Amino acid sequence: MQRKIVPFWIMGILFLLSGCSSALDTVDRLYPMHDLVYDETGNTSKIFRAYQSSISKVTKAISNEEEPMKLSSSDKRIVLVYDDYLVQIYQDIQNPDDALVEVSDEKFVKQNYTTDYFSTYGIADAAEEAYDMDLDDHDDSGSSSSGSSSGSHYSGYVGNSGYVKNTGTPSVRFGSNISNSARGGGPGAGK
């Protein structure tokens, strides 16, 4: 019986590729999708549910996979800035034993978040670098002199008065893992 020998360089490449998972891949792999938030132009922000998890536990799981450019925290939310997306982690207001993880892609961030949001969390410099934004040119109505505008003051799925409502295409809220059901209505439509 003849054994095939795999060259070491092939094993090395396979090893490196297996460790090249992003934070977004980690979120998608570990947590079920809970909801989607759409803006007027169809850009999305994905909401995932981390059952029976604290925001610090979820943050550790994500940032251990890929180190963020910047991490900012308050008592109610943790914000991670990555090259192509913004991650927010907060305790669910209806199910305090769960954490919600929101992943907004670069286009959604540019169109919906304001200078005030980035300043509040001390991430303005990182946001300008990651999302190629000029926050001095961005006003708090979501507009910039370069012509992009959403008119939105979006600051995340969980706001002071509950879950946000979509500004564009309606979302589908996903039911629990047990029921595997989907419910209609936007994020603010309630249960």
**Could you report the per-residue pLDDT of 122-148, keeping only the tens digit for each?**
888 887 878 777 766 645 444 443 334
pTM: 0.71
Residue 139 inside a domain? The answer is yes
Residue 15 inside a domain? The answer is no
Evaluate if residue 27 carries a pLDDT over 60.
yes
**Window from 36-40, 106-110, 166-170 with minimum mean pLDDT:** 166-170
Distance, in Å, from the CA atom of 103 to the CA atom of 50, rounded to the nearest integer, reads 13
- Of 92, 138, 93, 136, the closest CA to residue 112 belongs to 138
Tokens of 94: 């209806």
Based on its alpha-carbon atoms, the radius of gyration of the chain, rounded to whole angstroms, reads: 19
Residue 6 inside a domain? The answer is no
CA 85 to chain centre: 7
Q: What is the structure's pLDDT at 140?
A: 47
Residue 11 inside a domain? The answer is no
C-alpha neighbours within 13 Å on the C-beta side of residue 11: 4
Evaluate if residue 162 carries a pLDDT over 50.
yes
Residue of 152 and 66 predicted with greater confidence: 66
Which domain does 178 fall in, by range?
20-183
Residue 150 inside a domain? The answer is yes
Q: What is the structure's pLDDT at 180?
A: 36
Tokens of 83: 């090259």
Residue 118 inside a domain? The answer is yes
Tokens of 180: 């595997």
Distance, in Å, from the CA atom of 85 to the CA atom of 166, rounded to the nearest integer, reads 19
Residue 84 inside a domain? The answer is yes
Direct distance between the N- and C-terminal alpha carbons of the chain, in angstroms, rounded to an integer: 64
Say how many domains are in the chain. Answer: 1
Residue 189 inside a domain? The answer is no
